[in-house]
Amino acid sequence: RFGRKVTMSGRFCWWLSVITSFCGLTTFLLYNAFIATTEVTDKYGISAATDCPWSEGDPVLFHLRTKLGVNYDAGHWFHMAENFMVQHSILRSTNGLTNASIVIYNFDEDDFESHLNGVTRLMLYLGTISEGSNTKKLHFVSIRKRHRILAQIRKLPSGGTLMIPQSLLITGQAVDLSPLVPVKDRFSNVNINKVSSENRKNVHIRSDSTAIPRDAGTQSSSSSSSVCVKLVGTIGGQWPTPQRGHWFPNRGDIESFRNKIRKACPADAAELNSTRKTKKFKMVLYQRDISRKLANEQEAIQMLTDRLPSKDWEIKIIYHSSQRSPCQLAHSLHDADVLLTPHGFQSMLLLFLPISSILFEVFPYKYFKRGYGPFSNEYGVVHSGVMSPATTWHTQILLSQISTASCMDSKMCRGYARNSDVRLTEHGVKRLLELIHQIYYSQGSLETTSVTNSNISLSQLMNSAERSIPISGFYSSASRSMLY
């Protein structure tokens, strides 16, 4: 009898614990549902509520999905372009581009904005801002994944409004686009507050960090430290990315896009005078700073100098720096006739080239991707290139017995090949001179020295549909269109 009483008591306690747990869980879920639909409080103790009064001139917010089928960070020019800059034509076709004076970009990955550089900030601007906008300030933030406001943003429909604390904004990056900001500082000189040491590596930091002005969408009384924003939309994260089809599919996309570059980077007389070409034609060699550099830079320049008419051509070198403003690059490249560079992210500099100019890439040994070709040709820039021979003995030994196609099918081989430096040989110079002759000397003559084939040309790697570069009257000097 005594044992039976213990058993019954145990069952009673077990059922009591089950009921208590169920009630506790139900209370927890109902409480969180109530909080998510009414008001949330951030870690600073500042509330953020939905359906706040928003008016024209108040900030807008883009929620950015960063995940793609490749690993990248916010500093990679091409992957940021294919995820976010490509939104230009998509949003333009749906009237989704914004003309707000203050724009907030919230990334769905913690600290993603810490790797932004001047060019990728400009790309976000080009993908989301309307052609006739008067945007004064951009904010780049990443609201923490565990933060309740992020869950609220994800549930908010496009056009919905909510209050967010200014304290969240000043922990990110802010870019001032007022007319007083000089060209050398635009998109690269940012205001930062409460950032990690890693964040400070890629940006020039000013001490006068500021949040959104309190008169921009702020509320009175208890919410005076918050700002009312409107969610314009959630963009990015589509894989394959939209550009795998077309970058500028609609009529007027390209001209609108180039007008936005002019708006973001206004012409500066002093900068133009210091970078303007002094001869009929200008070739710019853009040299990478870490991997895949042009190993024989001086030799390549000498070969080009010997074969190009000295009265017609000048060759300038730009060394990559993550600190440089994209507006400085736009001024330096706006009148370039040829951009010569190793294959890589920096080929996105074609954004600033004149329509009808040439982008010529030197690919690593046994590495080839169409990459920038479709974008370049659609944009009106002639794209071509050549493959480098092996630049190290181990690369020669390991890759000489494998085809380029087989290497590109292997992730390990592809990764090994792409990190090699490149060389521009006599064969590569000959191919470039042939292209220059087609584009710029079709009515005259360009004497070139006969050379022997010493490496593999790009045309050998392309399929039959891509072997011939489309050359027509469009690519004449009379049809050139420069940014400035």
pLDDT tens digit sequence for 391-402: 999 999 999 999
pLDDT for residue 2 is more than 50: no
* Model pTM score: 0.79
Beta strands at 382-387 and 173-176: parallel, antiparallel or unpaired: unpaired
The residue with greater pLDDT, 3 or 217, is 3
**339-354 burial, b for 16+ CB within 10 Å, e for fewer?**
bbbbbbbbbbbbbbbb
Q: Which two tokens stand for residue 120?
A: 């990728």
Say which DSSP state 388 is in: P
Does the pLDDT at position 385 exceed 60? yes
Whole-angstrom Cα distance, residue 421 to residue 271?
A: 32
Q: Shortest CA distance to 268 belongs to which of 183, 335, 186, 175? A: 183
What pLDDT is recorded for position 443? 55
Q: What is the mean pLDDT of the chain?
A: 81
Averaged pLDDT for residues 323-342: 96
CA distance 464 to 313: 33
Q: List, for residues 231-266, the tens digit of each pLDDT value.
A: 999 999 998 887 665 899 999 999 999 999 999 999
Q: How does pLDDT run across 28-67, given as a tens digit for each residue? A: 776 555 444 443 344 333 344 457 888 888 899 999 999 9
Amino acid 320 reads H
Other CB atoms within 10 Å distance of the CB of residue 452: 8
d(CA 168, CA 44): 9
pLDDT at position 193: 52
| Cis check: omega of the bond before 240, within 30 degrees of 0 | yes
Q: How are the residues of the chain apportioned to helix, strand and coil, as percentages rounded to the nearest 5? A: 40, 20, 40
Q: Is the pLDDT of residue 308 over 80?
A: yes
Find the distance separating the first CA and the last CA of the chain, reported in whole Å. Answer: 99
